[in-house]
Amino acid sequence: MAERVGVYICHCGSNIAGKVDVEDVSQWAGEELDNVVISRDYEFMCSSLGQELIEDDIKNEGLTRVVVGACSPHLHERTFRKACSNAGLNPYLCQMASLREQVSWVTEDEALATAKSKAMISGAVERVQLHEELEPTEVPVNPHSLVVGGGIAGIQTALELANSGNPVILVEREPSIGGHMAQFDKTFPTLDCSACILTPNMSDVSSHPNITLLSYSEVEEVTGFVGNFHVRIRKKARYVIEEDCTGCGICIEKCPKSVIDEVFEAGIGYRKSIYRPFPQAVPKYPVLDAETCIYFEKGTCKACEKFCPTNAIDFEQKDTFIDIDVGNIILATGYDTFDSRKIPQYGYGRLANVFTSLEFERLCNAAGPTNGHIVLRDGVTTPKSVAIIHCVGSRDTRFNAHCSAVCCMSALKFGHLVIEKTGAEVHSFYTDMRPSFKDYEEFYNRLLEEGMHFTRGRVAEVTEAALQPGEEGKLIIQVEDTLIGRQRRIPVDMVILMTALEPKPDAREVGLKFGISCSMAGWFTERHPKLDPVATMTDGIFIAGACQGPKDIPASVSQGAAAAARVLGMIMKGAVEIEPIVATIHEERCSGCRICNTLCPFNAIDYLEDKMVSVINQALCKGCGTCVAACPAQAITGAHYSNEQIFAEIEGLLFDVVQGNGAKPVVEEPEAVPA
Amino acid sequence: MADERFEPKIIAFLCNWCSYRAADLAGTARIKYEPNIRMLRVMCSGRVDPSFVLKAFALGADGVMIAGCHPGECHYLEQNYKTMRRFSMLKHTLQAMGMEDDRVRLQWASAAEGVLLAGAINEMIEQVRALGPLDWPKNWSENGNIEEAIEQLVEEHAEAMEVPV
Ligand SMILES: Cc1cc2nc3c(=O)[nH]c(=O)nc-3n(C[C@H](O)[C@H](O)[C@H](O)COP(=O)(O)OP(=O)(O)OC[C@H]3O[C@@H](n4cnc5c(N)ncnc54)[C@H](O)[C@@H]3O)c2cc1C
Ligand code: SF4
Ligand code: SF4
Ligand code: FES
């Protein structure tokens, strides 16, 4: 039986009607296109009256298919699908043509715009007749959530979810949560003590009945789909039995081996082989680092074991695996900083008194290796002058095109700390001063008043080579002051490099594990840069904090909370609908060649050894259609994007060519060939 | 007839996540391009079966564009790499059939690249206009390198489908 198609052309006020002769298009569709039984134009199809028009026609005229020529389907496909289902028609029996975005807004000529609109309506009418009824599947949402990364963003997410009464598993790679914020002394612009605002949240995490904290752990494998992920976590051996350890720290005291702490102390301080990165670490259990432990190296020592009052040391401990099921996953894996050695002119690693920003954070931290005394590498001399170089590795196309967003403010913070603690002269060398957010400009003004010097210009070189009196024994900053257009040489005792924030080196790998993508640079890609900043293209996977792009603590915390809100919404709803646009293998046509098996990035295709055919797990299939296009036996069909539907659409789009105009089709469609 | 400008018909397959959104953006930004292009939405450029392209030509299109996310930005992670390989295979098939290179085009366009997409469309329309209407079956029989081209095709096919030769 022939379908009964209804065609609706929207004026969109004058957005479409101003360029396209909408009456002509709708009249033409009604008269010329097969099986179109109703064709109307209306001022605003998306309005409730417009939708009622469709609903009434479905009910009264028995429409079996609906075509709406209006705006982009990304805007209103859902609206019109809903109108169909309100009237009892399966929502997937509706098709839109983007007459606004693809015709009226982009075409100069009115007659050509009208002609193109007809082609697009014709394509939609041909296609929609081959549509099939589809039903979204509903799957329950597991209320457990997994948070990966325990920096401030991940901590916020975990606490928000846990406080709402839902169980959370927090996985952190390092021995302690806290992330970069735990390394800082003060935070801009308020100069709050970082530890004072961070550590209460850290201990809330450790004591929260709804949070399971797995530190020194990493996610090995993720399978499943939104609402129902299965995750395997590797808990690395810490050689300390957590159940028995009281966190007294005697083992750390007694361990005879000190090593440089490259992670938490940024390479300027020491830790023991058995260690906690910092006293307020959460969890409190230490980690024994087997790589440097004397016992693992030489077979003797075991000082920690001898002195541990609760026998909590276990040299035999192995990595263990924990399998969990969760409904949603939030990635809050943060950032890394640029390796300043890549800019040799700045002398980092060669000139002793050139420091990175993270080294400086540790240097002025009261709990750091110098107890907060700002001193040169010799450990005793207080600098009398300090240079702070901005944009090291940022806004530099050789390394990172982006602005790292927090460095100007950190530089101002450092300037304040140096002035307050040492009274030294501080020079900032900036490209542009960017104190963008609340109270930031005011903080900049404050530093101007405190007497920090600002020079606009990219530093060419930091050198020891003295040319003028007063430069001996100093580090000389060679820079062009671009505001006065003059070269300057400024001798200082200490240089701080404001190193760029960069994506984690393993971001791409981690992204692949969770099925989300990264930008060219390596930041995780959000679902929409403005309207959906914490969701990703993969349902059930969210991102928060600096793993999405450089940002400060307030922005990281906001994203952490936003991600939790999104997840909570899913948990409260209890179920998610899964799009029925998936691929299916027709067993009888499958030759078992297995070509499709490796094509699917979501591992949705399995090979059944016994039947010697492949099969698609529809819960894992995301409907890209790549396997459909690749199967040499044409054994795979893609719902809503079948070959037949696409062929029909092409034919419709080319209606004017197919039906003559001089150019005859080369491969004739049987029904189009006159006998 | 002689002074009438040839208006080619071009069919474009746009992936839902980047390129179709680039077309949306071109619209929202009111960037003008020529109306000779007619677009279809597919979920991913990886869905574009070479037979879609052949079908479009067979039905009278003068050119076909495939547009997808930039390599590394495919919504389905890596499917546009498969598109890329398939495309080079398709190009050779079409060459073997005597078709000019400019009649097919693979275009990366992110959701932010409305201007780029519109520019690519105009450029392609110009190129195809210069080529004139597709006179396919005639050209095909006149092409001399069919055998060589077909041999190469077999190899590329294996590669594109990721089966060891
Ligand atoms: C020198 C400097 C000074 C700064 N000062 C300030 C300031 O004063 N005020 C301010 O607002 N902002 C400041 N910032 C910015 C601030 O550091 C960030 O905004 C904030 O740390 C981002 O938090 P996050 O949780 O997203 O990332 P991070 O702090 O980087 O935390 C990420 C966490 O995830 C863990 N992780 C990473 N990968 C994995 C994995 N695969 N599996 C498990 N765990 C993983 C990491 O170990 C880490 O604990 C400063 C930045 C720098 C460089
Ligand atoms: S590619 Fe087609 S024939 Fe080969 S295993 Fe997959 S479904 Fe079967
Ligand atoms: S359509 Fe894409 S996601 Fe679905 S099974 Fe095929 S390759 Fe995998
Ligand atoms: S989704 Fe755009 S190319 Fe794959």
Query: Which chain A residues touch B64 with a CB distance below 8 Å?
Result: none
Mean predicted lDDT score pLDDT of chain A: 94
Nearest ligand for residue A602 CA: 3
pLDDT at B160 over 70: no
Look at residue A665 and tell me if it is in a domain. no
- CATH architecture type of domain B10-160: 3-Layer(aba) Sandwich (3.40)
What is the A116 CA–ligand 4 centroid distance (Å)?
25
Residues A231 and A241 in one domain: no
A512 and A398 in a common domain: no
Q: Which of A348-352, A362-366, A471-475, A535-539 is predicted least confidently?
A: A535-539
Distant-in-sequence, close-in-space partners of A368: CB < 8 Å, separation ≥ 6: A185, A265, A268, A269, A361, A362
Q: Which residues of B touch A656 (CB under 8 A)?
A: 9
| CATH code, domain with A71 | 3.40.50
Question: Ligand 1: does its nearest atom lie under 6 Å from the Cβ of A264?
Answer: no
Q: Both A177 and A228 in a single domain?
A: yes
- Whether the per-residue pLDDT at A661 is higher than 50: the answer is no
Q: Counting beta carbons within 10 angstroms of the beta carbon of residue A24, is it exposed (0 to 12), middle (13 to 18) or buried (19 or more)?
A: middle
Sheet of strand A228-235: strand arrangement:
A217-225, A228-235, A320-326
Residue A71 has pLDDT above 70, yes or no: yes
Give the lowest-confidence range in A76-90, A298-312, B41-55, B90-104: B90-104
Residue A11 and residue A48 in one domain: yes
Please judge whether A520 and B11 are an interchain contact, meaning their C-beta atoms are less than 8 angstroms apart: no
CA of A587 to the centre of ligand 2 (A): 9
> For residue A617, what is the domain's CATH number?
3.30.70.20
Residue A437 lies in a domain: yes
Tell me which residue range forms the domain holding A149: 137-235+320-334+504-578
| Ligand 2 atom nearest to CA at A630 | 1
Across the range B116-144, mean pLDDT stands at 81
Number of domains in chain A: 5
Greatest CA separation for chain A:
101
Give the chain A residue whose CA is nearest to the CA of B31: A106
Tokens of B28: 């929202």
pLDDT score at B161? 59
Pocket of ligand 4 (CB under 6 A): B 15, 17-18, 44-46, 68-69, 74-76, 79-80
Residues 459-518 of A with CB under 8 A from B: 512, 515, 517-518
Query: In 3-state terms, what secondary structure has residue A639?
Result: coil
Same domain, A455 and A362: yes
Using the Cβ of B104 and the Cβ atoms of chain A, whether some distance falls under 8 Å is answered with: no
- Binned at pLDDT 50, 70 and 90, residue B142 comes out as very low
The two structure tokens encoding residue A551: 């940002």
3-class secondary structure, A186 = strand
- pLDDT 10s digits, A214-238: 999 999 999 888 999 999 999 999 9
- Kindly state whether residues A478 and A430 are assigned to the same domain: yes
pLDDT at B154: 65
Q: Which residues of chain B make contact with A593, given a CB cutoff of 8 A?
A: 163
Residue A41 to residues A27, A50, A117, A418, B20, Cα–Cα distance (Å): 9, 10, 13, 70, 25
Beta bridge pairs of residue B108: B68
Q: Does A98 touch chain B (CB under 8 A)?
A: yes
Find the CATH number of the domain harbouring A362.
Answer: 3.50.50.60
Give me the phi and psi of A114, to 5 degrees please: -65, -40
Every domain of chain B and the residues it spans: 10-160
What is the amino acid identity at position A311? N
CA–CA separation, A660 and B4 (whole Å): 18
pLDDT top residue among B140 and A401? A401
Q: How far apart are CA A260 and CA A268, in angstroms?
A: 7
- Whether the CB of B72 is below 8 Å from some CB of chain A: the reply is yes
Is residue A671 in some structural domain?
no
Kindly report, residue by residue over A260-299, the tens digit of the pLDDT: 999 999 999 999 999 999 999 999 999 999 999 999 999 9
Mean pLDDT of A333-353: 97
**A213 close to A167: Cβ distance less than 8 angstroms:** no
> Which of these, A606, A629, A601, lies nearest to A617 by C-alpha position?
A606
Q: What pLDDT, on the 0 to 100 scale, is given for residue A675?
A: 38
Q: Does A85 touch chain B (CB under 8 A)?
A: no
Tell how far the Cα of A581 is from the centroid of ligand 2, in angstroms.
19
Do A385 and A407 belong together in one domain? yes
- Render pLDDT for A430-446 as a digit per residue (tens, 0 to 9): 999 999 999 999 999 99
pLDDT band at A665 (very low <50, low <70, confident <90, very high): very low
The average pLDDT across A123-144 equals 95
Query: What tokens does A459 get?
Result: 């530093």
What percent of chain A lies above the pLDDT cut of 70?
97
pLDDT of residue A668: 39
Q: Whose CA is nearest to atom 5 of ligand 3?
A: A621
**Are A77 and A120 part of one and the same domain?**
yes
pLDDT higher than 90, residue A17? yes
- Whether residue B1 is predicted with pLDDT greater than 90 in this model: the reply is no
Q: Do A626 and B26 touch (CB under 8 A)?
A: no
Of the residues A134, A155, A172, which one is the last residue of a structural domain? A134
Q: Which of these three, A501, A531, A552, is where a domain ends?
A: A501
Give per-residue pLDDT as tens, B90-125. Answer: 998 898 888 899 999 999 998 888 999 999 999 999
Classify residue A670: in a domain, yes or no. Answer: no
pLDDT at A606 over 80: yes
CA angle at B140 for the pair B136 and B143, rounded to the nearest 5°: 140
Report how far apart, in Å, the C-alpha atoms of A435 and of each of A106, A186, A439, A445 are.
39, 17, 9, 10
Taking CB atoms and an 8 Å cut-off, how many pairs form between chains A and B?
160
Tell me what pLDDT residue A654 has.
Answer: 95
Q: Is B61 on the interface with A (CB under 8 A)?
A: yes
Claim to verify: residue A550 and residue A414 sit in the same structural domain: no
Chain B residues whose beta carbon lies within 8 Å of the beta carbon of residue A515 = 77
Q: Does A672 touch chain B (CB under 8 A)?
A: no
- For residues A430 and A391, is the Cβ–Cβ distance under 8 A? yes
pLDDT at A340 (0 to 100) = 97
B159 vs A102: which has the higher pLDDT: A102
Taking residues A440-457, what's their average pLDDT? 97
Kindly indicate the confidence band of residue A659, based on its pLDDT and cuts at 50, 70 and 90.
low
pLDDT, tens digit, 9 for 90 and up, residues A300-320: 999 999 999 999 999 999 999
Residue B5's pLDDT band (cuts 50, 70, 90): confident
Assess if residue A535 is contained within a domain.
Answer: yes
Query: Do A98 and B27 count as a contact with CB atoms less than 8 A apart?
Result: yes
The reply to whether residue B76 touches residue A106, judged by beta carbons under 8 angstroms, is no
Pairing between β-strand A475-481 and β-strand A459-463 as defined by DSSP bridges: antiparallel
Query: A61 vs A33, A34, A38, A57, A126, CA distance in Å?
Result: 17, 16, 8, 5, 20
- Ligand minimally distant from the alpha carbon of residue A588: 2
- pLDDT (tens digit per residue) in A380-416: 999 999 999 999 999 999 999 999 999 999 999 999 9
Q: Would you say residue A330 has pLDDT above 90?
A: yes
Do A42 and A103 sit in the same domain of this protein?
yes
- Mean local confidence (pLDDT), A626-638: 95
CA–CA separation, B33 and A117 (whole Å): 15
Same domain, A201 and A329: yes
The set of protein residues with a Cβ atom below 6 angstroms from ligand 2 is: A 585, 590-596, 613-614, 631, 633, 635-636
Which tokens sit at B82? 């498969």
Is 90 exceeded by the pLDDT of residue A251? Answer: yes
Q: Are A379 and A494 found together in one domain?
A: yes
Q: Is the CB of A625 less than 8 angstroms away from the CB of B44?
A: yes
Say yes or no: A632 contacts chain B, CB-CB below 8 A.
yes
Task: Please report the pLDDT score of residue B138 as a whole number.
Answer: 54
Is A643 part of the contact surface with chain B (CB cutoff 8 Å)?
yes
